[in-house]
Amino acid sequence: MLPFSLKVLFFKFFQLLLKWSTKILTFRTPELFSGPGSSLQLCEHIATRTGVKNLLIVTDAMLVKIGLLKAMQDRLTELGVRWVVYDGVLPNPTIDQIETGLGLLKKEGCTAILAIGGGSSIDAAKVIAARARNPHKVVHMAGLMRVLFKPMPLYAVPTTAGTGSEVTIAAVVSDPSTTRKFAIMDPKLVPVGAALDGALMAGLPSPITSATGMDALTHAVEAYISRNHTPMTDAEALEATRLIMQNLPTAVREGSNIEARQNMAVASFKAGVAFTTAGVGYVHAIAHNFGAYYHLPHGLANAIILPYVLDFSKPECTDRLAKLAEVSGLASGGESALQLADKFIAHVRALNAEFGIPTKVDKLKAGDIPAITDKALSEAHWTYAVPRYMDKPEFEAFVAQMLPA
Ligand SMILES: NC(=O)c1ccc[n+]([C@@H]2O[C@H](COP(=O)([O-])OP(=O)(O)OC[C@H]3O[C@@H](n4cnc5c(N)ncnc54)[C@H](O)[C@@H]3O)[C@@H](O)[C@H]2O)c1
Ligand SMILES: [Fe+2]
């Protein structure tokens, strides 16, 4: 068996290839509408500029129930676009939910898709769009660059801030038959248009606001400390971090503050731009498994795991964590990089405490840790350019820190 240090060289070489590939493949970003009310501008764009006449709206039942789609549906109807709603998406969407949506799309003869919702709805819509134009099953698209043909045109209106799925190359899918949550990553999945409409987020309950906001923060931080960062991803990640630190506590306390909501929507998009090129890291690799095993909401899982991973990674990214502390407004002058890095990690813990996010994972079972470790490491090591690596025994002990007391 190869010693771990040699394996790490292979991982680093593979990740360097990925970094080079992102220089060649410039990732498209969606045509963007931004600001309160911009979701209606996107509907006007679809109706008047794209020639789409028959649209599948992919969403979840809760959003239909609270009437979040109504204004967009009315505008589309006024402008002569027929729409049909698929509202069967649930948090951590499954292959079955995607196949059911695809069935409706085919039955109704839709030619484009509008996703309205959180990351779950947008991810499900991305895969429905890919399935509509590709012969492959969902599992065969798992991994990097496995979507052969251009998907059906997809438009996205995020209602959480969030996953950044409206701009990323990723779609995350759960397969309950194998307790696996996997990512499909392909630049072809980036939506062709998106609207960042903070007004749609005014009614997002505060626990979902805080968890999804911590997901956006995790994207920014993991992209910033990734070895595959670039000057572009650094700028986007730092600006996203600044906006999140300034606006997330307000958005959680005062949900109807549209300025804070809009700033969070922009931050989530920017964090998505950053991680779509620089990648994420161990936090996401573990969080995907906590989602698959225990149905932990994605943002909540990230929020719990983030400070642990930052403590572990700190020796290899102290200066970068110090810079994150600076843009978070935590520097008072004269501190060393190490002191600033510690301040940043302590601040992430303090935010979690303020939001009532626990430090342990209630449902985590010691007996699951070896399998979680295998899955998380196979996701992370060939894809994520983490600043500091763990081998299997170290990773098992690391995850065990999150066992309930
Ligand atoms: N594609 C990517 O790049 C990417 C990145 C990170 C995470 N993800 C994936 O995204 C999924 C999580 O998405 P999410 O965190 O946005 O949550 P979600 O889409 O699962 O939604 C969570 C809950 O919030 C509710 N909700 C959403 N918007 C609302 C609103 N405006 N008002 C009231 N309720 C609202 C939904 O009904 C749902 O019950 C996970 O599967 C995760 O793995 C994808
Ligand atoms: Fe995420």
Q: Which ligand has its closest atom nearest to the C-alpha of 212? A: 1
Which of 259, 162, 254, 174 has the alpha carbon at shortest distance from 215? 162
Clarify whether residues 53 and 174 are in a common domain. yes
The count of domains in the chain is 2
pTM value is 0.95
> Is position 15 within any domain?
no
Clarify whether residues 216 and 181 are in a common domain. no
Ligand 1 pocket check for 126: Cβ under 6 Å: no
DSSP element (H, E) containing 172: strand 170-175
User: What per-residue confidence (pLDDT) applies to 13?
Assistant: 74
Quick one: pLDDT band at residue 281, thresholds 50, 70, 90? very high
Clarify whether residues 105 and 224 are in a common domain. no
Residues 305-336 have pLDDT tens digits of 999 999 999 999 999 999 999 999 999 999 99
Residue whose CA lies nearest to ligand 1 atom number 32:
204
Which of 369, 320, 316, 365 has the alpha carbon at shortest distance from 341? 320
Clarify whether residues 220 and 283 are in a common domain. yes
> Is position 10 within any domain?
no
Which atom of ligand 1 is the closest one to the Cα of 171? 1
CATH number assigned to the domain comprising residue 222: 1.20.1090.10
Tell how far the Cα of 318 is from the centroid of ligand 1, in angstroms: 31
**Which residues on adjacent β-strands are paired with residue 55?**
83, 112
Tell how far the Cα of 120 is from the centroid of ligand 1, in angstroms: 5
170-175 and 180-185: which strand pairing? antiparallel
Q: Which domain holds residue 253?
A: 206-400
User: What per-residue confidence (pLDDT) applies to 19?
Assistant: 75
What are φ and ψ of residue 210, in 5° steps? Answer: -70, -45
Ligand 1 pocket check for 165: Cβ under 6 Å: yes
Clarify whether residues 98 and 238 are in a common domain. no
Which of 55, 54, 67, 73 has the alpha carbon at shortest distance from 114? 55
Final residue in a domain of this structure, among 201, 230, 253: 201
Residue from 141, 159, 306 whose mutation best tests the ligand 1 pocket (most atoms within 8 A of CB)? 159
Q: How far apart are CA 352 and CA 16, in angstroms?
A: 34
Residues 118-175 have pLDDT tens digits of 999 999 999 999 999 999 899 999 988 899 999 999 999 999 998 999 999 999 999 9
Residues 214-248 have pLDDT tens digits of 999 999 999 999 999 999 999 999 999 999 999 99
Ligand 1 pocket check for 62: Cβ under 6 Å: yes
For the record, the structure tokens of 160 come out as 């959480």
Quick one: pLDDT band at residue 7, thresholds 50, 70, 90? confident
User: What per-residue confidence (pLDDT) applies to 16?
Assistant: 78
Final residue in a domain of this structure, among 145, 173, 201: 201
User: What per-residue confidence (pLDDT) applies to 2?
Assistant: 74
For the record, the structure tokens of 219 come out as 């994207």
Segment 294-310 shows an average pLDDT of 97
Which atom of ligand 1 is the closest one to the Cα of 169? 3
Q: Which ligand has its closest atom nearest to the C-alpha of 173? A: 1
User: What per-residue confidence (pLDDT) applies to 149?
Assistant: 96
Burial of residue 216 (CB within 10 Å: 0-12, 13-18, 19+) is buried
Ligand 1 pocket check for 201: Cβ under 6 Å: yes
Clarify whether residues 194 and 240 are in a common domain. no
Ligand 1 pocket check for 123: Cβ under 6 Å: yes
Q: How far apart are CA 354 and CA 357, in angstroms?
A: 8
Q: Which ligand has its closest atom nearest to the C-alpha of 64? A: 1
Clarify whether residues 212 and 178 are in a common domain. no
> Is position 220 within any domain?
yes
Tell how far the Cα of 218 is from the centroid of ligand 2, in angstroms: 7
Clarify whether residues 146 and 236 are in a common domain. no
- Measuring CA to CA, how many Å separate 97 from each of 59, 122, 140, 165? 11, 13, 16, 18
Largest CA distance in the chain: 65
- Helices assigned H by DSSP within 179-330: 206-225, 231-253, 258-278, 282-294, 298-327
Q: Would you say the C-alpha torsion 290, 62, 175, 170 has a positive or negative sign? A: negative
Mean pLDDT of the chain: 95
Clarify whether residues 49 and 186 are in a common domain. yes
> Is position 40 within any domain?
yes
Q: Is the pLDDT of residue 24 over 70?
A: no
> Is position 234 within any domain?
yes
> Is position 1 within any domain?
no
Provide the edge-to-edge strand list for the sheet that holds 143-144.
Answer: 143-144, 180-185, 170-175
> Is position 9 within any domain?
no
Clarify whether residues 216 and 149 are in a common domain. no
Q: How far apart are CA 254 and CA 120, in angstroms?
A: 24
Residue from 62, 258, 294 whose mutation best tests the ligand 1 pocket (most atoms within 8 A of CB)? 62
> Is position 405 within any domain?
no
Final residue in a domain of this structure, among 171, 201, 231: 201
Clarify whether residues 245 and 196 are in a common domain. no
Q: Tokens 């295998």 sit at which residue?
A: 374
Clarify whether residues 215 and 111 are in a common domain. no
- Measuring CA to CA, how many Å separate 404 from each of 85, 179, 363, 366, 400? 41, 21, 8, 10, 9
Residues 107-118 have pLDDT tens digits of 999 999 999 999
CATH number assigned to the domain comprising residue 102: 3.40.50.1970
Tell how far the Cα of 36 is from the centroid of ligand 1, in angstroms: 20
Residue whose CA lies nearest to ligand 1 atom number 28:
159
